[in-house]
Structure formats: C-alpha cells, structure tokens
C-alpha cells in the first residue's frame, strides 16, 4: 500500500472510506483515501502530486458498472462531481462528467432537445459513460459526443474530438492507451424538437427498460458484452444459468445477463457467478463471453 500521509492534509480527502456506500450493487471494501470534488484545477493539482508520489488514482462514478472488490482499493479514489449542464448552442450541450445520464436525458427533454433519450437507460455518470461508450436501445455515447475534455495522469488538460476517442462497442481509448485519464466534461450533439415529443421517446426507452431488465434491485447492469450476432443473456439462459446463486448473488430470473444482490452479496460471490456463467457458456455453447462490468480494487490488501 502506498504511503502518502500528506494526502490527509488535502481538503476533502478522507481515509478508509467504505466504498459499498458508493456502489449501486452495495459491495466493496474501503478506499485507502477518497475525495469527492467538483473543483477541476484542484483535481488537476491533486493528480499531479499523486503522479509524482507514485500514489495510484482510481476514478469512481456512480458505481453502477464497477464491481468494487471486498478488500477495497489502495491509493486515492476520486469521484469527480461536476454536474454542470450548459446549452452551448441549438445543437450542443456541455455537460460535467459527474452528471447522471438520466438527469441529462430529462433536462434535455424539458428544454426540447432530442438525441440523448437513451441516457434514461444508463444509471451512471457522463464521465464513466464516455469511458465505457455506454449505450442503450440502439444509441451510444459515440453517436452523440462532439468532443470531451480530460485530465491526463499528471493533471494536464486536453480535449479529444469524437474520432480521437477510439470508440467501439462498450470501449474507448480511456480503457487502454489513455488509462489513467480523467474525463471532466463533454460536449454532446442534440437537435431541437418539441419537449413533449422528446419526453415521450424518453419515457418509451424507460418503459422498455423496465419491461426487460430487473428494476428496483441492486445490479451492475449487463455483466457480459453481447458476442457478434447473439446476446449474452440468451446464451446464459440457454446454458441453464438463470436463478443460479453464489452466496447472496443471483443470476437474475428476469434477464440472465444481470446479476442481482439478493442477500448481502460480497464481491467474491459476484466473481464466482461471473466465472460460473462464463465457463458454462463456453462449455455448452463454445462462446468465450467478454466481461462488460469493470473490476476495481484487489481481492486482498
Ligand atoms: C440497472 C442497470 C442498468 C444499466 N443499463 C445500462 C445500459 O443500458 N447501457 C450501458 O451502457 N450501461 C448500463 N449500465 C451500466 C452503467 O450504468 C454504465 O456503464 C455507466 O456508464 C457507468 O457509470 P458509473 O458512473 O456508474 O461508473 P462506475 O461504475 O462508477 O465506473 C465505471 C468505470 O468508469 C471509470 N470512470 C468513472 N468516472 C470516470 C471519469 N470521470 N473519467 C474516466 N473514467 C471514469 C471507473 O474508473 C470505472 O472503471 C447499467 C447499470 C445498471 C445498474
């Protein structure tokens, strides 16, 4: 574990923050240090100091896609909480990375700006949604992002156009070459429309989501990416895994690509189920499913 007592003198930084409080699944051990901030210059200088001191930095959004391991996360965990939303012009909104995607969708509907209706189906922050190219019901971030601004691991600010983000299915360069960059804001493309029409489309996405996915229970969204020409949910169901349990975690009976926390599950329970689903589908269907959820932290520390 890194030694950096100076971090405790930085405004807002706390030690041993329980991360299950920041996980929509409700699991995760403590962050060695944790800070929630909306002050970009302060974040840039904190990133620079951590970079120079060799303290690992892990970003956390709304904890809707990240499985935080039971032993927690060494180093500094950062939640960038800038939730601004500014209309730049009739076709562009500028959004802080801490803004929740459903909030972006609803605010745009209210202002008569279409194009971001899919956001109602993504219960996470904009920053993480850029990182993972989140999408729902046929639209993804790559379809609407004009550009985004990020801080490099040493705190340097840079802006990337859509074509520089390396977007692919649930992927961006922030997952590999730009690992360690922090997305701080993005400019998204919208189009003018009647508020009622945008709201109706937003409600239709929400209704479809409620009809097909577990709703009102703790989950991490889709556990695996869909393989070409098929869906992970269909394959896991075909492999007879619906309802399978490990400890307090269960493969959803409503949608087999979701794992739900039914009874004080641990991260280890989730990992056991993920492995079981992966191996069973490989054995019975010959398909090597790739994980969509992100794993943060370490199994032992
Ligand atoms: C019920 C449910 C339904 C879902 N449905 C969908 C869906 O339809 N489509 C879909 O795509 N996803 C879906 N998800 C998954 C999830 O909502 C998205 O992946 C979302 O973009 C994650 O946002 P978050 O803020 O919760 O990220 P977190 O889980 O907190 O973090 C995810 C990753 O992003 C990184 N990260 C966080 N913030 C930043 C930042 N500012 N800069 C750089 N990296 C950052 C983290 O380090 C981590 O690796 C669903 C999840 C749930 C629980």
Q: Tell me the CA–centroid distance for residue 178 and ligand 1, in Å.
A: 17
Ligand 1 pocket mutation pick from 117, 123, 223 by most atoms within 8 angstroms of CB: 123
294 lines ligand 1 (CB under 6 A): yes
What are the backbone angles phi and psi of residue 142, rounded to the nearest 5°? -55, -30
**Among positive and negative, which fits the CA dihedral 148, 149, 152, 158?**
positive
Q: How far is CA 257 from CA 91, 241, 277, 286, in A?
A: 35, 10, 9, 17
pLDDT at position 300 over 50: no
Query: Are the C-beta atoms of 260 and 104 separated by less than 8 Å?
Result: no
Stated pTM of the model:
0.97
What are the backbone angles phi and psi of residue 177, rounded to the nearest 5°? -60, -35
The more confidently predicted of residues 267 and 4 is 267
pLDDT at position 63 over 60: yes
Mean pLDDT of 57-67: 97
127 lines ligand 1 (CB under 6 A): yes
Ligand 1 pocket mutation pick from 20, 60, 291 by most atoms within 8 angstroms of CB: 60
In terms of Cα–Cα distance, which of 170, 102, 163 is closest to 130? 170
Q: Tell me the CA–centroid distance for residue 133 and ligand 1, in Å.
A: 9
CATH class of 232-296: alpha beta
CATH dotted code for 6-80: 3.30.43.10
62 lines ligand 1 (CB under 6 A): yes
Mean pLDDT of 99-114: 97
Based on the residue annotation, tell me whether 292 is a catalytic residue of this protein.
Answer: yes
Question: 85-212: what fold?
Answer: 3.30.465
183 lines ligand 1 (CB under 6 A): yes
Structure tokens that stand for 47 in this block: 């990133």
Ordered by start, the domain boundaries in the chain are 6-80, 85-212, 232-296
The one catalytic residue in 170, 187, 199, 201 is 170
Based on the residue annotation, tell me whether 222 is a catalytic residue of this protein.
Answer: yes
**What band does 253 get if pLDDT is binned at 50, 70 and 90?**
very high
Mean pLDDT of 203-229: 94
Q: Tell me the CA–centroid distance for residue 54 and ligand 1, in Å.
A: 26
């Amino acid at each position: 574990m890194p030694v950096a007592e100076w971090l405790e003198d930085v405004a807002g930084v706390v030690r041993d923050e329980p991360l299950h409080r920041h996980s929509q699944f409700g699991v995760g051990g403590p962050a060695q240090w944790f800070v929630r901030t909306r002050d970009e210059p302060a974040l840039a200088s904190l990133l620079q100091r951590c970079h120079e001191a060799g303290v690992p930095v892990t970003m956390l959004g709304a904890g809707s896609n990240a499985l935080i391991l039971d032993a927690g996360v060494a180093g500094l965990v950062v939640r960038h909480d800038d939730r601004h939303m500014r209309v730049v012009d009739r076709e562009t909104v500028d959004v802080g990375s801490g803004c929740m995607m459903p909030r972006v969708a609803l605010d745009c509907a209210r202002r008569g700006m279409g194009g971001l209706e899919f956001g109602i189906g993504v219960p996470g922050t904009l920053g993480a949604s850029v990182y993972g190219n989140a999408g729902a019901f046929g639209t993804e971030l790559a379809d609407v992002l004009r550009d985004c601004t990020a801080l490099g691991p040493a705190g340097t600010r840079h802006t990337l156009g859509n074509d520089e983000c390396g977007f692919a299915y649930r992927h961006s360069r922030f997952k590999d070459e730009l690992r360690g960059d922090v997305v701080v804001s993005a400019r998204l493309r919208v189009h003018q429309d009647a508020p009622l029409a945008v709201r109706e489309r937003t409600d239709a996405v929400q209704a479809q989501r409620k009809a097909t996915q577990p709703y009102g229970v703790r989950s991490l969204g889709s556990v695996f990416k869909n393989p070409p020409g098929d869906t992970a949910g269909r394959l896991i169901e075909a492999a007879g895994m619906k309802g399978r349990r490990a400890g307090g975690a269960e493969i959803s009976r409503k949608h087999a690509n979701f794992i739900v926390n039914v009874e004080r599950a641990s991260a280890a329970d989730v990992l056991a189920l993920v492995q079981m689903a992966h191996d069973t589908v490989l054995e019975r269907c010959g398909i090597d499913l790739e994980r969509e959820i992100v794993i943060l932290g370490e199994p032992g520390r």
